[in-house]
Structure 1
Amino acid sequence: MSTPHDPAPPPDPAVPRPGDGLRLAFGTLSVLPVRVPYVDRAVAGRAMSAAPLVGLVLAGVAAGVLAVASYAGTGPLVAAVLALGALALLTRGLHLDGLADVADGLGSGKPAEGALRIMKASDIGPFGVLSLLFVLLAQAAALTQAGARHGADGAAAALVVAVVCGRVAIGLGCVRHVPAARPGGLGAMVAGTLRPATVAVFVVLLAGAASGLGAAAELGPVRPPVAVAAGLLAATALLWHTVRRFGGITGDVLGALAETATTTVLVVLSTA
């Protein structure tokens, strides 16, 4: 029998612990060095459920960089570039890398097996370079325009809505009946782990929060939910196309979904 002075036994690394999903979400989707000793599909599913929360934290930091740069007098363009650069650093460029790989795979015109092999290669091809240039320029230009039209607060609100929407879009690729393209990797671990109803709740909550944030930041209560809908529709179209071409999702596809939704939201919110 143990006494009050006996040390507690160490946790079994083969048993999931409360919070493993959240830790895995931050460890996978951000630069934070979080270690999770045990990961299975249940933990991975909870991690994907926590992706919007990770996005909210990252967006808050990036919006803070944007606000500081704006109030320091850098101008909307430099402030936008600094905020997007901070976001890329906070994510280790993970989603941008996924976007480039998916563009190379789709642009190759090869069957699924050959396209997946191209995506897994460590180098980046011309389609990947072009997609990164287009997306980063579009994001910077849209965020700059939002700052010019709606001020620093409006631009910060647009960035928060866009980044969180990008992480909600990741959940679209993890709903049931969406297969994995290959047996290993992140895609195989998270494919089919989320119920459609769970993602639907995230969408409704995001739309409501975006409306309130837009009203407070003079973006208006209507345009942010419309931008969210447009971003998720664009991500859904890409998801459908990649599943048709590759046979399912990969981790790269999830990153591409995030960047597609984020860019679309920023472009919609940059309009007058």
Structure 2
Amino acid sequence: MMSRAEILKDVVADLRIASSFVTIVPVAASKPAADGSIARATWALPVAGLLVGLFGAAVFALASKLGLAPSMAALLALAATTLITGALHEDGLADTADGLGGGRTRERKLEIMRDSRIGSYGTCALILSFGLRWSALAGIANPWAVMLALCAAHAAARAGLPAFMSLVPPARRDGLASRAGAPPGRSVAIAFAVGTLTLALALGPAKALVGLVLLSLAGLGLARLAIRQIGGQTGDILGAFEQVGEILILLVAAAFLQTVGG
């Protein structure tokens, strides 16, 4: 039986791995994959997302304090979250859009997704992603409500990743998704609990339920599309899943949080 010190050490290690995997913050010496460390640490992805959301919220609050309009503050908040994540998920969304939209065969789609160049589908996907998220944050406007929305979006969007990785097989044998492995059931359950709790605390139980339903439908739709077109998931597909989830939760928040704080 593990001691409390050993459990705490493992928790800190998982948090460092999750944070270093989804952000550019150098909190871990490396990014292990083949040894299963990432798969085990996936429970901490929504926690890392929560920190990303708080960073974006702090930038929005500072911009508002300096007298900038909500539209400009929203743009700066998006720039901050994109910067701290190294545009990891945006890159995945663009590659997914290019690959699934542009290739005719499975092999060609995977080849396109590995190409560092961006195409028309990827460009349009990024414009829509930034446009929808920016309009949602600008519409919410109130710094406190923006903080709730960003925390909910970044945590919940990553909370479904372990389940997606566990249920959808990797499309490649040599890709990151394959090397990382399938998260254990415990990591899937903890991530889901953290994401659900964050949603409920930020938006309230009823709105959180709406968000969970939308996230589930989006995940099922993307999983079906990925399996049908390329045979499973890749790191880019996971990035696209996070982006879609982030957009959906921000739109839900915009629909219910605009009047918070007056």
- What's the TM-score, normalizing by structure 2? 0.86
What amino acid is aligned across from residue 233 of structure 1 in structure 2? L
Matched, 1:62 2:56: yes
- Residue pair 1:174, 1:190 contacting (<8 A) in 2 also: no
Q: What do residues 122-167 of structure 1 show as CA deviations (whole Å, max 9, x unaligned)?
A: 10010000000011100000111122xxx22112101110111111
Question: In structure 1, which of residues 222, 235, 244 is the aligned counterpart of residue 219 of structure 2?
Answer: 235
Instruction: Count the aligned residue pairs.
Output: 246
Matched, 1:187 2:171: no
| C-alpha distance in 2 between matches for 1:191 and 1:243 | 17
Unaligned runs of at least 5 residues, structure 1: 1-16, 215-219
1:102 is displaced (CA, Å) by 0.2
1:136-215 map, 5 Å: 136-147=130-141, 151-175=142-166, 177-195=167-185, 198-214=187-203
Which secondary structure state, in structure 1, belongs to the residue aligned with residue 255 of structure 2?
A: coil
Aligned to 1:10: none
Q: What do residues 207-253 of structure 1 show as CA deviations (whole Å, max 9, x unaligned)?
A: 23322233xxxxx5522342243134213321221122111111111
Which secondary structure state, in structure 1, belongs to the residue aligned with residue 99 of structure 2?
A: helix
Distance 1:235 1:38, change over 3 A: closer
- Residue pair 2:41, 2:187 contacting (<8 A) in 1 also: no
What amino acid is aligned across from residue 82 of structure 2 in structure 1? A
- Residue pair 1:23, 1:36 contacting (<8 A) in 2 also: no
What amino acid is aligned across from residue 125 of structure 2 in structure 1? S
1:216-235 map, 5 Å: 220-235=204-219
Range with greater deviation from structure 2 (119-128 or 61-70): 61-70
- Residue pair 2:140, 2:146 contacting (<8 A) in 1 also: yes
Range with greater deviation from structure 2 (38-47 or 237-246): 38-47
| C-alpha distance in 2 between matches for 1:51 and 1:118 | 27
- Residue pair 1:31, 1:90 contacting (<8 A) in 2 also: yes
- Residue pair 1:103, 1:128 contacting (<8 A) in 2 also: yes
- Residue pair 1:103, 1:127 contacting (<8 A) in 2 also: yes
1:67 is displaced (CA, Å) by 1.4
1:85 is displaced (CA, Å) by 0.5
Distance 1:38 1:115, change over 3 A: closer
- Residue pair 1:21, 1:45 contacting (<8 A) in 2 also: no
Aligned-residue RMSD, C-alpha: 2.1
- Residue pair 1:173, 1:191 contacting (<8 A) in 2 also: no
Q: What do residues 163-220 of structure 1 show as CA deviations (whole Å, max 9, x unaligned)?
A: 1111113223211x4211111121112342232x643443344323322233xxxxx5
